[in-house]
Structure 1
Amino acid sequence: MTADFQDKTIIITGAGKGIGRACTELLAKRGARVIAMARTQADLDDLSARCGAVPIKVDLSRADAARAAMAEAGTADHLINCAGTNVLESVLDMTEDGYDTVMDINLRAALICAQEFARARIKAGGGGSILNVTSIAGHRGFQDHMVYAASKAGLEGATRVMAKELGPHGIRVNAVAPTVTMTELAAAAWSDPAKKDPMMVRHPMGRFAEVEDVARTIAMLLSDDAPVVTGAVLPIDGGFLAV
């Protein structure tokens, strides 16, 4: 039986594309009222038409905009921090602009959204859950991914702190760490066979993840089927981290 999200409100950042879009479509199909946050109006319009998502157009790289968007969203039952970006730069070529671009969205925006979500939940009596999308890049070193790796490892550390501090309020906080997932962002990073093929052979299941794989696992962690799971970082990696 699939998880039932009837009468639940779920905020999803980065809902316009990739994993965020897959989560929006899946959870709406399972009965949730989804508040979709994204930068591109066309993506939001399409999601509204397809699955009735409530659109909020926002540039989460701006701290004030992130707080305003969460205030507009109001109190929800769950938050999925899925917004993410990457700038491919080596250790020696890292720029301040690249650092700011990645950290502002991948880490700071996620922390702000989680903070505002938790404040609203506590005011409403507690309960609910937060799900942060990280990456296996926070566990293994990949070429040109230094700042991206730092942002995702940082979010995993923050996930554990959130679980500790928010647990007494009945708020669960978990993360998923996907392997290469077939999004537009991943295609740019892994399109070269010289890079893709050595990575693929390190996956016992012999494939990368699809966005639907990640969305279904997220739904499980948000659901009542995981009532005491908190502070966990669950790899969605086809066995990559196990070998």
Structure 2
Amino acid sequence: MNPFDLSGRFAIVTGANTGIGRAIAVGLAEAGADIVGVGRSAMTETEADVRRAGRAFVSIAADLSGPGIAGKVVADALAAGATPDILVNNAGIIRRADALDFSEEDWDAVLDTNLKSVFFLCQAFAKAALAAGRRAKIVNVASLLSFQGGIRVPSYTAAKSGLAGLTRLMANEWAARGINVNAIAPGYVETNNTAALRADAERSADILKRIPAGRWARPDDMAGAAVFLAAPASDYVHGTILPVDGGWLAR
């Protein structure tokens, strides 16, 4: 048996339209999983890549920041024929401003999308898995700011620190019930969320100097860790926050 084989399983991946979410969706498909992509915009390229890997793709359009959306997303996935096997909570936003100037609107927007919606997606997914009597894997996408404070991103830091705590809490409650809850913590990745940082020549150079691997991550650098945490290979891994950071935290 291949411990990384996901054949016959479905993976719900939020924020699957671009960046890390797209890379993880394609990586899971290449490992054998069928994909339910959840996003606010079209996932045409992700769907094409998943189908090219020979797997099915179901698209669900959703703005996860709204109340009650999480339960509907899981219900829609099940109605489309998915089984509650794997959930990857990748969708997220970021707002940048000094802590002295940070607005309540930006605080609420980030916390609603990056933390609140993740908890209720996990809850709805876990209920479905338990009702179906299926073992399941939840993979949250945390951040280096689950470990560090960062600068100029107070709501993002709060959300990602909270997500690390929730990952451990849910693992404590659900491990014995057949649901693994873990997270990956990407380092500095070339995505839309980091465009402002990469455009700041001084800040970008400072970041690069600290990364032992000598480069920013690409979105597909996250796929292998996600496959591991979704696959049988990680059946005895619970409550772990796995950095995929080019060695940033080791420096």
The TM-score with structure 2 as length reference comes to 0.92
C-alpha root-mean-square deviation of aligned residues, in Å? 1.4
Structure 1 residue 17, shift from structure 2 partner:
0.9
Matched, 1:134 2:133: no
Structure 2 residue corresponding to 1:70, chosen from 74, 97, 102: 74
Cα contact 1:19–1:212 (8 A) shared by 2: yes
Cα contact 2:3–2:231 (8 A) shared by 1: no
Cα contact 2:170–2:181 (8 A) shared by 1: yes
Unaligned runs of 5+ in 1: none
- Tell me how far apart the structure 1 counterparts of residues 65 and 232 of structure 2 sit (CA, whole Å): 32
Give the residue type in structure 2 aligned to 1:142: G
- Tell me how far apart the structure 1 counterparts of residues 194 and 230 of structure 2 sit (CA, whole Å): 25
- Tell me how far apart the structure 2 counterparts of residues 49 and 240 of structure 1 sit (CA, whole Å): 33
- Tell me how far apart the structure 2 counterparts of residues 2 and 120 of structure 1 sit (CA, whole Å): 24
Residue equivalent to 1:23? 24
Cα contact 2:31–2:227 (8 A) shared by 1: no
Residue equivalent to 1:40? 41
Give the residue type in structure 2 aligned to 1:73: A
Unaligned runs of 5+ in 2: 52-56
- Tell me how far apart the structure 1 counterparts of residues 121 and 131 of structure 2 sit (CA, whole Å): 16
- Tell me how far apart the structure 2 counterparts of residues 239 and 48 of structure 1 sit (CA, whole Å): 32
Residue equivalent to 1:169? 177
- Tell me how far apart the structure 1 counterparts of residues 186 and 199 of structure 2 sit (CA, whole Å): 18
Residue equivalent to 2:249? 241
> After superposition, what is the alpha-carbon deviation per residue over 1:35-59, rounded to whole angstroms, capped at 9, x for unaligned?
0000013xx2333333242100000
- Tell me how far apart the structure 2 counterparts of residues 39 and 110 of structure 1 sit (CA, whole Å): 15
Residue equivalent to 1:116? 124
Cα contact 1:63–1:112 (8 A) shared by 2: no
Number of aligned positions between the proteins: 241
Identity of aligned residues (%): 37
Matched, 1:58 2:62: yes
Structure 1 residue 3, shift from structure 2 partner:
2.2
Structure 1 residue 145, shift from structure 2 partner:
1.2
Residue equivalent to 1:205? 213
Tell me the secondary structure at the aligned position of residue 183 of structure 2. strand
- Tell me how far apart the structure 2 counterparts of residues 200 and 34 of structure 1 sit (CA, whole Å): 34
Cα contact 1:177–1:235 (8 A) shared by 2: yes
